[in-house]
Amino acid sequence: MAVKLTILGSGSAGNASYVETDETRVLVDCGFSPRQIRQRLATIGRAPENLTAILITHEHSDHIAGLVGIAEKLGIPVYCNRATKDEIERTLKAHLDFRLFTAGGSFDVGDIAVETFSIPHDAQDPVGYLLRTSGGNLGFATDLGHVTKLVLERIRPANVLLLEANHDVKMLQDCVHRPWSLKQRILSRHGHLSNEAAADCTAEIMSDDLRHLYLGHLSSDCNKPELAFGVVQKRLSTIGATHVQLALTTQAAPCPTLSL
């Protein structure tokens, strides 16, 4: 059976991705309501009861909102580091089956080899993931204020990458709905990546191995899908990366399933 990836949704109000191999079915983040997680999995003929594990990047609500109704209710193991676990327990008051790792460490979940790496974001101990599978390597790097050398090194082997393209800098600066303090947080080195920063990252890691690039966590009011797509697509064209298939994620609905 092919390895399958379905990005169930990505944005400031919820994030979750589903990965399936011959032996293993995992969520990377669980940031929608339990009902939404169930409904989005149902669109691909899957159910949370069959999940092997849930991998959590960090404790912000748009990444853990469904844990109580999914992981706690169904007894699904939750993989995260200790600082993230402590904050999840404090905020959710949940009794979960935690499986702890140290940021930068590796472990196996079924037939998926999981590599973790630290990312710069304003959470307790946020991480990104590289999942090594029989069909290819899947990278997850959202919610980071800037791209460190470590992040570049860890996501460079990815054949498929979910990368943040949160905002257009001018749109964010001009936004009348956000206080300056929030703008400063987003623009900081522990905030979120702009479209241009995502394009820079893409150019840095480019190789013949990267085949699919998904832009994630787009702001609903400080970005536009066509802006994010245009900036990164232009950079791909400039560096001659015509082999990379670029796609946008949305908050509203799952992306089409990718089979590897």
Give the DSSP letter string of 72-122.
Answer: IHHT--EEE-HHHHHHHHHHH-----EEE--TT-EEEETTEEEEEEE--SS
pLDDT digits (tens, 9 = 90+) for 219-232: 999 999 999 999 99
Instruction: Work out the widest C-alpha separation in the chain, in whole angstroms.
Output: 50
CB burial string 171-183: b at 16+ within 10 A, e below: bbeebeebeeeeb
Take residue 72 and report the two structure tokens written for it: 């706690």
Query: Comparing C-alpha atoms, which of 125, 126, 104 is closest to residue 116?
Result: 104
pLDDT at 126 over 90: yes
Mean residue pLDDT of the chain comes to: 97
Quick check: helix, strand or coil at residue 234? Answer: helix
Domains of the chain: 4-252 (3.60.15.10)
Distance in angstroms (rounded) separating the CA atoms of residues 199 and 158 = 16
Q: How confident is the model over 249-255, as a mean pLDDT?
A: 96
User: For position 1, what pLDDT does the model report?
Assistant: 73
Mean pLDDT, residues 52-56 taken together:
98
What pLDDT shows up at residue 133?
Answer: 98
Q: What is the DSSP letter of 68?
A: I
Would you say 55 and 30 are in contact if contact means Cβ atoms under 8 Å apart? no
Rounded to a whole number of angstroms, the CA Rg of the chain reads 17
pLDDT tier for residue 156 given thresholds of 50, 70 and 90 = very high
How far apart (Å, rounded) are the C-alpha atoms in residues 177 and 196? Answer: 22
- DSSP labels for 151-212? HHHHHTT-SEEEEE--B-HHHHHH-SSS-HHHHHHHHSTTS--BHHHHHHHHHHH--TT--E
* CA neighbours closer than 13 Å in the CB half-sphere of residue 185: 9
**Mean pLDDT, range 121-141, rounded to an integer:** 98
**What pLDDT is attached to residue 92?**
97
Q: With 0-12 CB in 10 A as exposed, 13-18 as middle and 19+ as buried, what is 238?
A: exposed
Task: Give 143's DSSP letter.
Answer: S
Enter the tokens of residue 18.
Answer: 């589903």
Q: What pTM did the predictor assign?
A: 0.97
DSSP for residue 130: E
Q: Is residue 118 within 8 Å of residue 125, measured between CB atoms?
A: yes
Q: Is residue 202 a contact partner of residue 163, using CB atoms and an 8 Å limit?
A: yes
* In the predicted structure, residue 62 carries a pLDDT above the cut 90: yes
Handedness of CA 209, 1, 252, 141 (dihedral sign): negative
**Hey, is 106 helix, strand or coil?**
strand
User: What would the two tokens of residue 51 be?
Assistant: 């999940």
Q: Which tokens is 243 given?
A: 């082999």
pLDDT the model gives residue 83: 98
